[in-house]
Structure 1
Amino acid sequence: MVDILREIGMIDRALDSIANIEFKKVDLARGQYLYLVRIYEHPGIISEQLSNLIKVDRTTIARAVKKLEANGLIERRRGPDNKKIKHLYVTAKGKQVYPFIIRENEHSNAVALKGFTEKEAEQLHDFLSRARHNIDGDWDFVKHGGKRKY
């Protein structure tokens, strides 16, 4: 069987490393750009939803949110119905950073797909999306304490 996860991992680490270097100038630390983008795209999202969207545990979300809030890029607001639930919103400062992140993403996407036809790029997207959907069930199962059988 072909081991695609190594290739996906190398692509992920390379792009993450590039982004972390380039985003330092806009007060984003390691990996925080992903959280900022998702909060921007889903105003009022709560941490649990963000955790499921990004596929990281709640502790990681809490640390990232705390740092983004400390840097003035997002804010937490109490919900109107349940004061315990904190909804996440991008601040004016965060909104200024968003277009820079999107430009970097579009550039990296173009570099990654260099030499691909439009049809090949769409197929790759579809294949990766299917692979992610295949893994979603295991992620949720393990996240909630389940043990996979190998």
Structure 2
Amino acid sequence: MEKRSSLSEDNNPIFQDIARFRAILFDSLLKPHDMTMSQGWVLVHLVRENGLRQSDLADRMDIATVTISKLIDRLEARGYVERRSDPDDRRSNRVYALAPAKEVVKIMTRTIFEVDELATRGIPEADLRTSLRVLRQMKENLRDAISRR
């Protein structure tokens, strides 16, 4: 059996390096807009589907509910979102993107394309399609493994 590894030639985990470099680049490009990648993704989800429950938003972003709550606190303090009681469940809040959030989402969209362009430079389209298919399967495998624990 062939030995498989997620380590690159310098013995650093390649997946973590890619994610870390991508996050660093995202955050540096968003810094002039006083926004982090995580905050921006919250707004992207809400602009796509406004009025999500905090717990549903955390699930979609694959993060803990306490983490989403802190992100929403920061965004709410800056006037991008507001929490409202869920009319169907008083113990739950729904989160709504406000008008300024749409402008940030436009910036996020441009930033996504810019980072993707930088990350995929010199890689043939067929290789990218294969890589994305493989990475999606790996993500699903890991998600399934987590859910079985």
Aligned to 1:130: 137
1:44-99 Cα offsets, whole Å, 9 max, x none, are: 21121122211111111111111111111111122232333211121111111111
After superposition, the CA RMSD in angstroms is 1.9
- The answer as to 2:47 corresponding to 1:46 is no
The count of residues paired between Structure 1 and Structure 2 equals 142
1:4-52 Cα offsets, whole Å, 9 max, x none, are: 6921211111121122222222232463222222222221211211222
Aligned to 1:111: 118
**Mapped contact 1:73–1:94 kept (Cα < 8 A):** yes
- The answer as to 2:34 corresponding to 1:27 is yes
**Mapped contact 1:16–1:31 kept (Cα < 8 A):** no
Q: Structure 1: give runs of 5+ residues left out of the alignment.
A: none
Deviation at 1:128, TM superposition (A): 0.8
> Which range moved further: 96-105 or 70-79?
70-79
Cα distance in 2 between the residues matched to 1:134 and 1:100: 32
Aligned to 1:87: 94
Aligned to 2:108: 101
Larger radius of gyration: 2
Aligned to 1:3: 6
Aligned to 2:64: 57
**Mapped contact 1:73–1:91 kept (Cα < 8 A):** yes
Question: Compared with structure 1, are the counterparts of its residues 30 and 120 closer, same or farther at alpha carbon in structure 2 (3 Å cutoff)?
Answer: closer
Cα distance in 2 between the residues matched to 1:29 and 1:106: 16
Q: Percent identity?
A: 21
Aligned to 1:68: 75
User: Could you say what secondary structure the match of 2:96 adopts?
Assistant: strand
Runs of 4+ in 1 over 4 A off after TM superposition: none
- The answer as to 2:88 corresponding to 1:78 is no
Could you state the TM-score of these two structures normalised by the residue count of structure 1? 0.84
Q: Structure 2: give runs of 5+ residues left out of the alignment.
A: none
Deviation at 1:127, TM superposition (A): 0.8
**Mapped contact 2:81–2:97 kept (Cα < 8 A):** yes
Could you state the TM-score of these two structures normalised by the residue count of structure 2? 0.84
